[in-house]
């Protein structure tokens, strides 16, 4: 059984027992977190979505906070002597999925 949840403006496919890196959440490590925006539930051949998953939620626990590796952004305009290099590191929160409540 797995679920599709929405958090941080993105959708993630999660299953019980796996860890997923999502947009930064408020809370310290070992804090329980609850995702109530469940988009879909899939159990074998049965798929529930929309109004069928109105009361569903996914429970998890924050493992740690961190930052992704640096991504370099290079801007360049030819014949104008314009070059600019910018670095970016995205924050994330690693969450271990504990239970999917349908």
Q: What is the pLDDT of residues 72-86, one digit of tens each?
A: 999 999 999 999 999
User: What is the band of 50 on the pLDDT scale with cuts at 50, 70, 90?
Assistant: confident
Nearest to 76 by CA among 84, 68, 66, 86: 84
Residue 30: exposure state from Cβ atoms within 10 A (0-12, 13-18, ≥19): exposed
Sorted by where each begins, the domain ranges of the chain are 2-101
For residue 51, the 8-state DSSP code is G
Query: What is the tens place of the pLDDT at every residue in 10-49?
Result: 999 999 999 999 999 999 999 999 999 999 999 989 999 9
What is the reported pTM? 0.83
Cβ–Cβ under 8 Å, residues 98 and 16 = yes
């Amino acid at each position: 059984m797995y679920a599709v949840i929405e958090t941080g403006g993105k959708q993630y496919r999660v299953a019980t027992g796996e860890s997923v890196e999502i947009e930064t959440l408020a809370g310290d490590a070992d804090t329980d977190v609850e995702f109530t925006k469940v988009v879909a539930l899939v159990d074998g051949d049965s798929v529930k979505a929309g109004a069928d998953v109105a009361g569903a939620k996914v429970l998890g626990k924050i493992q740690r906070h961190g930052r992704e590796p640096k991504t370099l952004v290079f801007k360049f305009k030819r014949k104008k002597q314009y070059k600019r290099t910018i670095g970016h590191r995205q924050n994330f929160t690693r969450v271990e999925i504990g239970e999917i409540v349908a």
